[in-house]
Chains A and B, each alone.
Chain A
């Protein structure tokens, strides 16, 4: 069965601190896709990254970086030098090939304090 676990319900950091959001997934498929989305207070889910199961290279985009490790079934997300605008709920999601269904984690609420 597919499952996504975001064990951190809420994290608070002070501006400029680095923060890592954890995501652990379960799937029996060998081909799958992982995603991160940001949901600010306005409600819209904003797409951040898509990674397929065959690409384990870490990715960096500005202050954002992602660490994909198949050995531990984890796809963690790090924000470097956090800013107040990073305050949001962050969701990790899993999709197997052959389906359009996403399995979402329960989300991690990040609060960045000025």
Chain B
């Protein structure tokens, strides 16, 4: 595997289900990101992890719970979602740095298309 992979690619879930999205990067990066892309809306940054520490939570509802066990893996745990949470969820990674200098190039995975019924 190369680059950034995401599983599953498609997910349909009911409002009472619990599911998880998985992201894995094979680029040796230290920063990972979750984005939400809804129809007719700009890409929304949800969470940022740098060296496994969460550095950004963009006022995301608690029904979305991220987990970053190591620099290569990022999960998004989903529970009691709403239909308006249906969207494309994109994971990205970048080099990252301890100093948090920013300006990194982010590399994206193919996304998980989530439908909440």
Contact = CB atoms under 8 A, between A and B. Distances in A.
Interface of A: 31-33, 35, 37, 42-47, 50, 52, 91, 95-102, 104-107
A104 B43 contact: yes
A35 B111 CA distance: 19
29 contacts: A32-B103, A33-B102, A35-B105, A43-B90, A43-B113, A44-B90, A45-B108, A46-B108, A47-B105, A47-B107, A50-B105, A91-B43, A95-B103, A95-B104, A96-B102, A97-B103, A98-B100, A99-B102, A100-B33, A100-B50, A100-B56, A100-B94, A100-B100, A101-B48, A102-B43, A102-B106, A104-B42, A104-B43, A105-B42
A95 B100 CA distance: 13
B16 interface: no
Given A43-B111, A43-B113, A101 B105 contact: no
Contacts of A104: 42-43
Contacts of B88: 43
Interface in B37-76: 42-43, 45, 48, 50, 55-56
Contacts, number: 65
A97 B55 CA distance: 15
Nearest to B6: A44
Interface residues of B, number: 27
Contacts of A99: 100, 102
**Chain B interface main SS type:** strand
Interface string B22-41: 00000000010100000000
The 4 closest A-B pairs by CB, nearest first: A45-B108, A33-B103, A43-B111, A44-B110
B42 A106 contact: yes
Contacts of B56: 100-101
Nearest to B9: A43
Contact of B102 (A35, A37, A42, A98): A98
A44 B55 contact: no
B2 interface: no
Given A44-B110, A100-B56, A100-B94, A52 B42 contact: no
